[in-house]
Amino acid sequence: MSREILIETAYLRKVARHKLPDAIHVVTAIRAGCAYFLSDDKGMKRLPHGMQWVAADGPGVFEVMRALGDANEHQE
């Protein structure tokens, strides 16, 4: 946890109305460059442009794995 993440978290809570733990997770994912946000919380669908919410179930995990596999194939 860094001061920068907490500052960004406060801003995100203001614009997206996430609860504190959820906002910390989203900001951490942004900082890590994540394209997918795996969660069972449907309220977490308010994500930044370029980040996709994916259900934390079998089909959701498969979707992310397939997308990552496709991305790796394009890099080779």
pLDDT at 71: 66
Q: Residue 47 belongs to what domain range?
A: 3-75
Judge residue 33's burial from the number of C-beta atoms within 10 Å of its C-beta, 0-12 exposed, 13-18 middle, 19 or more buried: exposed
Dump pLDDT digits (tens) for 39-73.
Answer: 988 878 789 899 999 999 999 999 999 988 876 66
pLDDT for 43 equals: 79
The string of pLDDT tens digits covering residues 13-32 is 998 888 999 999 999 999 99
Please state the domain count of the chain.
1
Per the DSSP assignment, residues forming a β-bridge with 36 are 52
Higher-confidence residue of 35 and 46: namely: 35
Better-predicted residue by pLDDT, 11 or 1: 11
pLDDT at 32: 94
